[in-house]
Amino acid sequence: MAVVNPLGTVGVDIDGGVAVITLSRPDRLNAVVPALVDDLLAAFDIVQSAGGEVRAVVLTGAGRAFCAGHDLKEQSAPGDTRLRLERIQDVTRRIRSAPQPVIAAVHGYAIGAGAEFALGCDLVLAADDAVFAFPEAGLGLSVTGGASRLLPLLVGPVRAKELLLLGERIGALRAREIGLVNAVFPAAGLLDAALGWANDIAAKPGYAVTLAKRAVDSGIDSTLEGALELEVSHALVTDATTEVAESSARFRDRGRNAS
């Protein structure tokens, strides 16, 4: 593939009618920091600047994981919580407003914000080693990225509450069973499978593909903005609690012990 514009924490490759956007902080399992969010949004700008040349997009992660969620080692600057939350929600907005279908190719961890990135995509393909989880409630936090709206649409409200309230990690096959992902592939063949799906889509008339995406999303997005704003309100409430600092420390310790 020809590299169009490698950004600091995100790679962008365009080959024919398919763009591959790669989260690239492999040493931190592609955990989310503000720079990654900015680069991810810039990557979608690059794709859109290519015009009708790009007919499908694959979103994936470099190294051992898709995205392990927010990088809890990074401290947020005081007073920027709303701006930071709305900025990460712009990723969901950008994915869903893109005229091209966006396929998430998920391997390894898709935790918290990583799972939410996948939720925002039009199709989700998972490697057999993929692990999904929404740990926010256990950390004293609130979901963002539209999960409060998109997750119940995929798995149903009762199952969504189970995932959000218990925060348990589920594997790829279980995710496929409950409707969180479209298909599961061996890890070594995941990207090829995603590119196969993307190329199949790219071979179709672009206007027809866009209309099909828009038709399905029109019923979903009519209340997505309300869900996004409610999530920001909840996150602002939880951000200032002492429980967040304590649970974040426990989460970091668990990550070090598991590595």
Q: Mark whether 116 is an active-site residue.
A: yes
Cβ contacts of 199 within 8 Å, gap of 6 or more: 16, 17, 18, 56
User: Which two tokens mark 49?
Assistant: 């600047």
Q: Mark whether 177 is an active-site residue.
A: no
When the pLDDT of each residue in the chain is averaged and rounded to a whole number, the result is 89
| Position 215 pLDDT exceeds 90 | no
> How many whole angstroms separate alpha carbon 173 and alpha carbon 162?
17
* Range list of H helices, 122-180: 147-155, 157-166, 172-178
> How many whole angstroms separate alpha carbon 19 and alpha carbon 10?
13
Residue 256 pLDDT class (50, 70, 90 cuts): low
At 68, which amino acid appears?
A
User: Which two tokens mark 249?
Assistant: 């420390």
Per annotation, catalytic residue among 74, 86, 136, 168: 136
Query: What was the pLDDT predicted at 23?
Result: 97
Q: Where exactly are the structural domains of the chain?
A: 2-189+205-211+219-258
> How many whole angstroms separate alpha carbon 201 and alpha carbon 198?
5
The secondary structure of 47-112 as a DSSP string is HHHTGGG--EEEEEESTT-SB-SB-TTSPPPTT-HHHHHHHHHHHHHHHHH-SS-EEEEE-SEEET
Summarize the confidence of residues 220-237 as an average pLDDT.
78
| Position 1 pLDDT exceeds 50 | no
236 vs 124 pLDDT, higher one: 124
| Position 169 pLDDT exceeds 70 | yes
Query: What was the pLDDT predicted at 259?
Result: 55
The pLDDT tens digits of the residues spanning 62-105 come to 999 999 999 878 766 666 788 888 999 999 999 999 999 999 99
Per annotation, catalytic residue among 74, 86, 116, 225: 116
Pick the CATH number of 2-189+205-211+219-258 from 3.40.190.10, 3.90.226.10, 3.40.50.20, 3.40.50.970: 3.90.226.10
Backbone angles phi, psi at 39, to 5 degrees: -70, -35
| Position 248 pLDDT exceeds 70 | no
Residue 18 pLDDT class (50, 70, 90 cuts): very high
| CB-count exposure of residue 233 (10 Å: 0-12, 13-18, 19+) | exposed
Q: Which long-range contacts (CB under 8 A, 24 or more apart) does 176-181 make?
A: 176/126, 179/154, 179/155, 180/124, 180/132, 180/154, 180/155, 181/106, 181/118, 181/124, 181/125, 181/126, 181/130
Query: What was the pLDDT predicted at 226?
Result: 78
Query: What was the pLDDT predicted at 73?
Result: 80
Summarize the confidence of residues 5-17 as an average pLDDT.
88
Summarize the confidence of residues 41-51 as an average pLDDT.
93
